Each structure stands twice: as C-alpha cells, then as structure tokens.
Chains A and B, each alone.
Chain A
Amino acid sequence: MACNSSTCNSSGCYKGYEEEEQPKPNTKAAVNGGNSCQNLCVKCKVNEPVCCGIGGENSRFCKDCFKNNLYGKFKQAVTYNAMITPPDKVLVAFSGGPSSRVVLQFVHEMQYKAQKNYDANKDKSLPVFGVGVAFIDESSTHSFTSLHIEKAIEDIRLIVSNLAPPSKELFVVPIESIFSSDGIDGKERLKELLDAVSDVTGKEDLLIRLRILLLQKIASENGYTRIVLGTCTSRIACHVISATVKGQGYSLSADIQYVDSRWEIPVVLPLRDCPAQELNTLCSLDGSLKIVELLNGPCSGINGLVSSFVKVLQEENPSRECTIVRTAGKLTPFHFNRVPEIHDSNVPSATRRHQKRYTLKPNGSLSSDSFCPICSSPLKKSNFPSSLRSHGNQQNPDLIASACSSCQFQILPKDPSLMEEFLSVLPQQMITKAKHGDQGDFSLLREQIQEFLLSDGENEI
C-alpha cells in the first residue's frame, strides 16, 4: 500500500500513484507528530475517539475534544475580531439547520459563562451581553403545510426556552414583514416581487437579500447591536465560486470576512473557520443539539450547480473548501469589514482599547465605494453599467443605473416597460438606498475627523 512516510528515500517508493492524497489536516490538534496511538483521541489521548475531523485519519477525536475544538475556533473568531463585547445585544439568526444550531449553542455557552463570572464578581463593572434569536418564516414562498411550519416553530420555541438562563427573546417573523405593511398585503407584494424575477438564480439571491434586510429591521427595531450568522466554511466556499461565476469578483472579499459593517447593524460570522461536515457531526453526536428540518428544497440554477461542484471537489479532497476560503481570504477586504469603533463613553475604556487593538486595520485609502441598492455589493468605479436601460424610465434612473451588473442581469426585468411595476414592489429600503447611494461612507470619514468637528449640526459633508 502507499508509503506514509514523508521522507522515504527508497527508489521504489513513489508514494504510490494509487494512494489517496493525504488530506491536509486543518485542526491544530491533529498535527502533533505521532500517529502511533490510533485508538485514542488525538487531543486528550485518554478517551476513545468517536469521530473524525476534516483531517481524516489524523484527527480522530473523542466527543468532548471534538466539541471543544469547534468551540475553540468559534471563541477565537469572536475574540480576535471583537465581535461581541459586554455592552452588545446580539441577535442570532436561526434557520433550524446544524450551523445555526451550533452557533446559537456556542453563543449561549459564552453568555452563560459570562453570566457566571458576573454573578461571582463583586465588581459588577462589565455587564453581560444580551442574546436574542430570530427565525424568519418563509412559508409564504414555499408550499409547506401550515401544520409543518407550526410544528417547526414550536420546536424552535422549545429550543430557545431551554437555552436559559440567561433567557433569550425569540422573534418569529414572516418574510413578508420586510414590507412596511403587514398581513395579506405583504404576502401579495412578495409574491408579485418574486414572480417579476424570471431568472431562477436571481430569485434565490433576491430572497437572500430580503432575509438580510429583515434581520436588519428586527435588530434595529429591538435595539440589537450585532447580528450573528452561522455561516460556515463550506457555505463561504460555495459563495466564493458562485460570486466568481456571477461576475461579482470585485465585491467578493466584502462578503466573506468575519465582520461586515456595511449595514446599520454589523453582521458577524463566528463559524467562518468551521467546515459544515464538522458542524453536522457535532449535531449528530450531541443529542441536545436538535435541528429543525425545514425542507427548503435544494437550490437550483447557478447556486445549486455550484453546491454540487464544491461537493464533488470535497469528495476528491476534503480540505478543498478550506483552500478555497483561504485563497479568497487573501483578497483585499473593504474598510467596512471590521467592527466599527465604539464612541459610547458608557462603554468601559478597557473594552474600547481591546476592540481597537483587535479590529482589522483598514486597507490603504478609504475609497468611497458606492453600493448596489439591491444586493449592497460595493461597486467598482469603472464598472458603472451603462445607463442605456434607464432611458425609458425617467422616474427612477438612479436605481437602475446604480445597480451592479449581476443584479441588472438576473434580478431587474429585461423589458423596460416592466421596470416601473417592479420598482413599485421592491422594499422601500432598497429604493431609499439608491437615492442616498454614497452616504454610508461619509460616516467613516466623519469618524476620523470627529474630534475636530465643532458644529454638530452638519447634515452633509
């Protein structure tokens, strides 16, 4: 069989053309030299291993070490990027799947530990951060029976109520609440909007945008300061490929960092270094991590194709996803890919210093990027799409001309005569964004010169 030695010098040993490629172990614990103890957990060397990490044979862990390994990655991501600080109120987006279940669990455990420290501490200077959970009910876009969705919501309520103390507020919000008006009106408008998009991929991507907008809405209306997503390595790898395929190479680096502050409420991704396979394994090992299966159906179109492609690559080499994310990680992030500085004087200065130390340094110049009103991707200056299509539409030339080329192709209607109608069913937030394109960036410039400004009444720079 294949020779496992990396320094074998025998002339007959070509490391086998038949051998499987040795997958690169991506867990630090696994790279500890000796593979001699095959029947013990590689980390604690005490318990029997029950599962393998991505590294295959080299990373056999017992249940506790496996979980601790994942939790360690989570904790490291949170600390290094100052994702969660004491005064924060974090909203965890919960879809029911394994990744969001794990991130909810980990956030809870972190909060629980902080609470115990607080209780044990005489000096109650550092408060414990608050946690809320948001579940977006997309049943109006799918054909679930109401029984099915009600059962799912019940399960979710149970899960969240069991994650106390400290108790967490649960928001169950239908996707149509993205529109200001509720009820049947919202459902109709949503249906109209989705029907107006002919491209399958465009429809899926638009739905993702609506989800994010809704999370932003819930968070800002309820005083939350962070949104936590359970996005894992595997999903990011798929996003890297699909963004490349859709011509969004410029904005790609904005979507895959630990922190995304382009929005009113910064979005953080603490599970960015955790592969889906490991999260799934954790959920199956740990009985308390129940997942709620909401058969949203597989993605079709480009997104589905990319998923299957990445799956095939993973089968060929289990560390492929990590390589993809690492490559994309070398792309230059944007200035908003860090936690905004805290100016609140109520926040202990120790916290502010800590955050300052750990946030990503802004890259070079603060270019004033403008954003696509539909997908919020930063636009490359020279890529401003031609305004040919706006000719027939004088009322809203801003939105069409300022949309990125990908949204222009897959979301906006091809027929100019349908544009008017389309714009009328778009959520208000997107229209407003188009009108106030560049405003967001000035806040960052303002941040820099804040201490020198005398007048507080400046509306525009």
Chain B
Amino acid sequence: MEADSKPKKSGARLCCVCNQNRAALKRPKTLEQICRECFYAVFEEEIHQVILENQLFKPGDRIAIGASGGKDSTVLAYVLSELNRRHNYGLDLFLLSVDEGITGYRDDSLETVKRNELQYGLPLKIVSYKDLYGWTMDEIVKMIGLKNNCTFCGVFRRQALDRGAALLKVDKVATGHNADDIAETVLLNILRGDIARLSRCTSIITGEDGPIPRCKPFKCTYEKEIVMYAYFKKLDYFSTECIYSPNAYRGFAREFIKDLERIRPRAILDIIKSGEDFRISTTTKMPEQGTCERCGYISSQKWCKACVLLEGLNRGLPKLGIGRTQGLNSDAKISNGMVIQEESVQGQLFCTNQVNPEDQFFGFYICKK
C-alpha cells in the first residue's frame, strides 16, 4: 500500500498534499510531510476505503464497538461515527465495554468510556467478569501470579464481548486492532508454530461462522498514526498500560516491530501482506468447530477454553488449560464432569497472552513497554 507522494518541496516545508498550509507533521506510514487538516483527511479516507473495499458493513447494521477507553477504541468510535455520518453508512453504533475487575486500572479507563458515551452520543453497555464468571482479574492474579494471567484475561474477554454483543443484539463487533497488532500476531504465530492461526489472523473479518462476526477497520492503520490523530484532535482517552502485563511474550514481537518501523516504516504492512500470502494448504488440519458441553459457547474442543480455565480456578488448579496438553479434552480425561489435572509436556510456551488474536480486544494496553 504505497501512498502516492508528490515530490516534497525542500525548504518551504509545505504540506505535500495541499501545498498551501505549512507541514505540521511527518506521516509515520509514508514519512510524507503533511498539514493537520490533510492528515485528518487522508487518515479518515484510508479507513473509509478499507471499509468499502472489504464490505465491512451494510446499511441498517447494528455495530458494537469494543471500547476500552484506550486510544485505539476511542479513535475507532470517533472515526466510525464520523464516517457513518459523512458517508451515510446507515449504521446503529454502540459502545461495548468489558470490566475485568482490575482496580486502579480498569475502573479508571471505564470512566473514560462513560465520558465517550456522552461525547460521541453512543449508547454504552458494560459487561463484567465478576457477573459472567464470578472472578475478577485481581482475584485471578492473586491466585495464579503474573505469568499466565494474560491468557485468562484474553480468553474471558473474548466470550465477554460475545455475550455483551448478544445482549445488545448487534450484527457485528468492531475492534480497534491496528496494523501493528496484526503484524505482531503474524510474527507470534510463526514463533509459536501455530499454522492454523497464521492462516486466519490477517483476515479483516473473522468469526463469520460463529455467534457474532468481528471486523478490524484499523487493519491497515499504523498505531503511531492513531496516536497522532488522537493527540491532534485532542480526543479523550486513557493511556496507561495494564498493570498485570509486563511478562507477556508479545513484548518481544512488539520491540522488534518498533525497531523495524524505524528503519523501514512500510515493513509493518509488508508483514501483513506476507501473512496474507503464505501458502498454507487448505487441507492443513484445522480445528473442527463444535460447541462447549458446559456452556454452549463455540468451541473446537469438548469444553471451551473459558470453561477449562474456570474449572481450574474453581478447583485450585490454575495450570489447567495452560500450555499445550495431551488430550485434556479427550474422553478419558473428562468423566462425570470431573476434570483431571493435565499432563503437561516439556518445553511449552507458557507465557502467551494471545490465545486467539481476536482476544486482543483492547489492543493498546496489552504489554506496552
């Protein structure tokens, strides 16, 4: 996706698009020198094009925007409602927020979302882990420590989003995953050996055969540009990293991508392009889709991951469901609803915060260094 750049005027430092105003910033994606107004225009226009080309929405759709109060979701809410107005998408927009129960962090960011509700005029629904699962993240971390907590949070959040979306009766969920997030996920899946996820993680629409499809309108939008947009537009957002996140494995990929962006900004989009182009056989064994026996949620195993993790928590077996297990979900292991402790295989990658790329609902806060 190379932007057409007109030859820069050296010295005068005029915006390279309108050639009238003084350039106020350098676009992180293309390094073009551009004025504020043109930046807003090109930023919004690119997202509009992505929405059109990928046919993300249709008129009359009810759309829930995953809202954490962070920059990605705030900008998403702002831009979507703006484009909805400007281009008459005909959408009914809602804000959907998940309260994981992290004191001193989530309760603060939820205040931001409540303000967004008023600022953007979008109705807000909040679903909480406590209500859904009986556990807050604070309680979970107290029990399991800081090594695998992101796995729990990610899995629970995914279901929470779907539950909330069902309550709102929406047709789709839009999340603020940006280009950086998707590039990191591509790299992570290569590092983890997850070929099945590798084939799915670059799709802009996922879960079409599940309860609620999700889409990522920011798939081609750089994180730095989102920050710039939020900063210049003075949007109200909450920008602290999650207090439980420092050990997530994603941090490695994130560092690398930051360094990469410095040398070659387009590399982020190149990673995504590579991810789309990987020759992955369609006969590669993909997980078969069924439903969880315990709760009815979509699952490729007998029990969905959330139920497995919950069982572990409730029984004081916090390692249940963590790491790769030999047939945890096989018939022999689950009998009469009693789950036996897994046998974990040597050499597992324990510290993943991404069980599923869609889980990274609040893209900005997970393991920001």
Does the CB pair B252–A328 fall under 8 Å? Answer: no
Query: Using a CB-CB cutoff of 8 Å, which residues 185-237 of chain B contact chain A?
Result: 186-187, 189-195, 198
Q: How far is the CA of A309 from the CA of B195 in the complex (A)?
A: 21
Answer whether residue B338 sits at the interface, using C-beta atoms and an 8 A cutoff: no
Residues in A with CB closer than 8 Å to B191 are 313, 320, 323-324, 327
Answer whether residue A146 sits at the interface, using C-beta atoms and an 8 A cutoff: no
Q: Using a Cβ–Cβ cut-off of 8 Å, how many residues does chain B contribute to the interface with A? A: 46
Answer whether residue A358 sits at the interface, using C-beta atoms and an 8 A cutoff: no
Among the listed A25, A326, A330, A383, which residue makes an inter-chain contact with B280, where contact means beta carbons less than 8 Å apart? A330
Are A245 and B260 also in contact (CB < 8 A) when A240-B190, A327-B195 are? Answer: yes
Residues in A with CB closer than 8 Å to B275 are 244, 249
Residues in B with CB closer than 8 Å to A14 are 318-319
Among the listed A17, A201, A309, A331, which residue makes an inter-chain contact with B256, where contact means beta carbons less than 8 Å apart? A309
Q: How far is the CA of A15 from the CA of B194 in the complex (A)?
A: 24
Does the CB pair A331–B186 fall under 8 Å? Answer: no
Instruction: Tell me how far the C-beta of B220 lies from the nearest C-beta in chain A, rounded to whole angstroms.
Output: 14
Residues in B with CB closer than 8 Å to A331 are 195, 278-280
Answer whether residue A23 sits at the interface, using C-beta atoms and an 8 A cutoff: yes
Residues in B with CB closer than 8 Å to A244 are 186-187, 190, 270-271, 274-275
Instruction: Tell me how far the C-beta of A289 lies from the nearest C-beta in chain B, rounded to whole angstroms.
Output: 30
Among the listed A248, A313, A320, A326, which residue makes an inter-chain contact with B274, where contact means beta carbons less than 8 Å apart? A248
Answer whether residue A317 sits at the interface, using C-beta atoms and an 8 A cutoff: yes
Does the CB pair A327–B274 fall under 8 Å? Answer: no
Q: Using a Cβ–Cβ cut-off of 8 Å, how many residues does chain A contribute to the interface with B? A: 48
The residue of chain B having its C-beta at the shortest distance from the C-beta of A363 within the complex is B281
Does the CB pair A6–B346 fall under 8 Å? Answer: yes
Does the CB pair A245–B271 fall under 8 Å? Answer: yes
Answer whether residue A362 sits at the interface, using C-beta atoms and an 8 A cutoff: no
Answer whether residue A21 sits at the interface, using C-beta atoms and an 8 A cutoff: yes
Q: How far is the CA of A323 from the CA of B190 in the complex (A)?
A: 8
Residues in A with CB closer than 8 Å to B276 are 249
Does the CB pair A7–B343 fall under 8 Å? Answer: yes
Among the listed A6, A248, A302, A316, which residue makes an inter-chain contact with B264, where contact means beta carbons less than 8 Å apart? A302
Residues in A with CB closer than 8 Å to B88 are none
Q: How far is the CA of A201 from the CA of B279 in the complex (A)?
A: 25
Q: How far is the CA of A23 from the CA of B346 in the complex (A)?
A: 7
Query: Using a CB-CB cutoff of 8 Å, which residues 224-256 of chain A contact chain B?
Result: 240-241, 243-250, 252-253
Does the CB pair A243–B280 fall under 8 Å? Answer: no
Does the CB pair A241–B187 fall under 8 Å? Answer: yes
Among the listed A23, A247, A327, which residue makes an inter-chain contact with B270, where contact means beta carbons less than 8 Å apart? A247
Q: Which residues of A contact B (CB under 8 A)?
A: 6-7, 9, 11, 14-15, 17, 21-25, 201, 240-241, 243-250, 252-253, 301-302, 305, 309, 312-313, 316-317, 319-320, 323-324, 326-328, 330-332, 363, 380, 383, 406, 409
The 9 tightest CB contacts between A and B, nearest first, are A249-B274, A24-B347, A247-B270, A250-B277, A249-B277, A332-B279, A244-B274, A22-B346, A327-B193
What are 7 residue pairs bridging A and B, where the CB atoms are less than 8 Å apart in the complex? A6-B345, A243-B274, A252-B274, A253-B279, A301-B263, A309-B252, A327-B194
